[in-house]
Amino acid sequence: MVSSVLGVVFIVSGLLEIVIPLILGLYLTRRLGTSWKTWLVGAIMLIVSLVRLPLNLFLSQLVLNVSVGSLSYILMILIPSLTAGIFEESVRYVGFKYIIKDNTYENGLTYGAGHGGIESILLVGLNVLSVGFFILTNPNILSPFLIDALLVTPEYLPLIGVYERIMAMIAQIGFSVIVMEAIRKDDVRYFVAAIGLHAFFDYLAVALVNYSILASEILVTGFALGLGYWTYKRVRAEGVLG
């Protein structure tokens, strides 16, 4: 029997993963004088980037069908990490250059909040909320595999997911500012850097989970705060968030 306490924690975590991005969007649009349209463009472009998912499935299946030995494990993590970097940073570039067009740091921050925010809401928050709801109301609807996993899930673990989403949003805002720099400075190196950093971030975060959740969270925190600090210094130099 799955703990009802765990169900409540799932629901609270899911709600936080939905509400926090919206509060951040509200704060930035009011503080920076930007539009919710910019936030929504970031959100929509993240959804557009999910066209990579069938490609991930195809390439992963190809790896499983071809004997590559110990490389299989690396490739199964590297493929989705690399496609995330390529597709998400590409749609970010398109969003800034051809939809938003007004490449101010204010728009970069707001776009990034939308990009990372909808990721938290759509890909994590709603799923976590649903699991919590089913645990409390109709656990029999859950798959036996999921129930087995929930039986050994610590009751605090969903809250770590909330923390991870906050760090991920900070990183997504940072990636957005890097890509915007590629347009502002007409320098493709920023765009390439955004792809590489994104892929590196995703790969290490997933790879380390298999060894230690704590190690993965330390990496995620260090990377996000480092990128956040770079972003803050960059936009602060332009008088934004001063």
The model's pLDDT over 116-146, given as tens digits with 9 standing for 90+, comes to 999 999 999 999 999 999 999 999 899 989 9
- Sign (positive/negative) of CA torsion 232, 235, 241, 242? positive
The model's pLDDT over 203-219, given as tens digits with 9 standing for 90+, comes to 989 988 878 888 889 99
pLDDT score, position 239: 80
- How far apart, in Å, are the Cα atoms of 176 and each of 25, 111, 188, 198? 15, 7, 14, 11
The model's pLDDT over 43-53, given as tens digits with 9 standing for 90+, comes to 999 999 999 99
The model's pLDDT over 79-122, given as tens digits with 9 standing for 90+, comes to 999 999 999 999 999 999 999 998 899 999 999 999 999 999 99
pTM for this model (two decimals): 0.94
CA dist 229 and 214 (Å) reads: 22
